[in-house]
């Protein structure tokens, strides 16, 4: 695995992860794979898309992930119809190509929101909340701390994330109602 994250499948029977492949001895491509724990089998889901950081929706019907092209990133979603290589036409694009560098998108427990790490052009690395179509709802912080790896609490009321805001990396909680960090 070479991506920043590994995500359990919604049914707990497998994991999604990223692998890097060298193509024509010079091009590196990230692609998303699924490992079926019951069958002990690796299944490739994308080919040469520079796709990474996949995570399934809570109901197990969709997969959100990041595509990187020409120095820009874009969030994408695809239906999890079967475990086989998807065609680009099957991808639902969330927003446009962006100079912001997206990472580790994660669905909320109800599947209506997505938390995503964002490195912005001003150097800030923060966490945003998007709706299920990729539209920004809220920027949770905008500071010099390096924040990322956000995951939702089971009730969807807060996010757990990693940050160096104290000078060293620790795990924090962001309460969405009070907008407080603990």
Q: What is the pTM of this model?
A: 0.88
Q: What angle do CA 168, 18, 53 make, to 5 degrees?
A: 60
Given this model, what pLDDT does residue 136 score? 93
What is the C-alpha R_g of the chain? Answer: 16
pLDDT in tens, the chain (182 residues): 455 578 898 888 999 999 877 777 777 778 899 999 999 999 999 888 888 999 999 988 899 999 988 888 999 998 886 667 777 888 899 988 888 899 999 999 999 999 999 998 888 899 999 999 999 999 998 888 999 889 999 999 999 999 999 999 999 999 999 999 99
Picking from 100, 96, 93, the residue whose alpha carbon sits closest to that of residue 116 is 100
**Which residue has tokens 């919604």?**
10
| Calpha distance 34→84 (Å, rounded) | 9
φ, ψ dihedrals at 88, nearest 5°: -60, -30
Q: What burial class does residue 151 get, using C-beta atoms within 10 Å of its C-beta: 0-12 exposed, 13-18 middle, 19+ buried?
A: middle
């Amino acid at each position: 695995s070479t991506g920043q994250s590994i995500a359990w499948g919604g049914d707990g029977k497998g994991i999604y992860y990223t692998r890097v492949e060298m193509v024509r001895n010079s091009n590196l491509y990230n692609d998303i794979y699924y490992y079926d724990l019951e069958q002990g089998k690796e299944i490739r889901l994308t080919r040469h898309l520079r796709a990474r950081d996949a995570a399934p929706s809570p109901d197990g019907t969709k997969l959100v992930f990041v595509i990187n092209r020409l120095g820009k990133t874009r969030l994408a979603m695809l239906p999890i119809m079967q475990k086989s290589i998807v065609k680009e036409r099957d991808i639902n694009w969330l927003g446009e190509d962006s100079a912001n560098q997206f990472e580790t998108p994660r669905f909320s427990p109800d599947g209506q929101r997505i938390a995503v790490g964002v490195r912005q052009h001003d150097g800030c690395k923060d966490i945003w909340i998007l709706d299920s179509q990729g539209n920004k709802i809220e920027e949770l912080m905008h500071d010099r701390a390096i924040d990322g790896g956000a995951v939702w609490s089971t009730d969807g009321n807060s996010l757990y994330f990693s940050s160096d805001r104290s000078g060293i990396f620790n795990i924090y909680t962001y309460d969405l109602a009070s907008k407080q960090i603990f």
